[in-house]
């Protein structure tokens, strides 16, 4: 039987701020001949560095041994004989994230007669990619389209129908989430 390895958890006085950069570009279309209609498309890109994450002891040990990542190896404290004394699992600036995708939207509002109107809105997101890298020299992995404790669907959308009549409102909402591959 192997001896248990001590893992340190708690606050980290060396924890620094996350940093990153993002950009987005979009267009909105409101045709004059179709009053009350609006369509939008937005492209976005987010790059986060020095992301705060609590180190999983197994991931730290695997990344140190498999990739030689100094960021992972410095979290392993060893005895004089080289055996592991403890692993530092406190929150630290360990990872990077890159996400990009497209948001789309469409809406229309129509007055049917005085005091009676209908509103339809559809919106969706296509997640092109989400990539994580837990350590500088560590493994880079993609999570778009997967579930691993968090959901990263490629497609998701929502449809809303509202009917207003005087002071009354009836509403219907439907949501769509694309299938996910479960990952361990």
pLDDT digits (tens, 9 = 90+) for 6-47: 898 888 888 899 899 999 999 999 998 888 899 999 999 999
The neighbouring-strand residues paired with 108 are 37, 120
Please answer whether residues 55 and 14 qualify as being in contact, where contact means their C-beta atoms are separated by less than 8 angstroms. no
The 3-state DSSP class for residue 73 equals helix
Residue 41 pLDDT? 98
**What do you get for the CA distance between the two ends of the chain, in Å?**
25
H helix runs in the chain, sequence order: 57-67, 70-73
pTM over 0.85: no
**Per-residue pLDDT tens over the stretch 64-113:** 888 888 888 989 999 999 888 999 988 888 888 999 999 999 999 998 88
Please answer whether residues 109 and 117 qualify as being in contact, where contact means their C-beta atoms are separated by less than 8 angstroms. yes
CA dihedral (62, 59, 135, 79) in degrees, to 10, reads: -60
């Amino acid at each position: 039987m192997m001896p248990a390895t001590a893992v340190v958890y708690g606050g980290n006085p060396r924890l620094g701020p996350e940093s990153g950069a993002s950009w987005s570009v979009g267009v909105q279309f409101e045709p004059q001949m179709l009053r009350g209609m609006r369509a939008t498309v937005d492209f976005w890109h987010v790059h986060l560095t020095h992301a705060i994450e609590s180190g999983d002891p197994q991931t730290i040990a695997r990344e140190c041994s498999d990739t030689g990542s100094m960021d992972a190896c410095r979290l392993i404290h060893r005895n004089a004989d080289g055996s592991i004394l403890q692993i530092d699992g406190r929150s630290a600036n360990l990872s990077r994230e890159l996400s990009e995708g497209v948001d789309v939207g469409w809406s229309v509002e129509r007055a049917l007669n005085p005091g009676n109107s209908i509103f339809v809105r559809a919106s969706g997101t296509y997640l092109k990619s989400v990539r994580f890298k837990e350590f500088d020299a560590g493994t880079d992995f993609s999570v778009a389209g997967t579930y691993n404790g968090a959901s990263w669907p490629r497609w998701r959308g929502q449809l809303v129908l509202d009917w207003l009549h005087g002071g009354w409102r009836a509403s219907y909402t439907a949501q769509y989430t694309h299938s996910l591959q479960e990952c361990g």
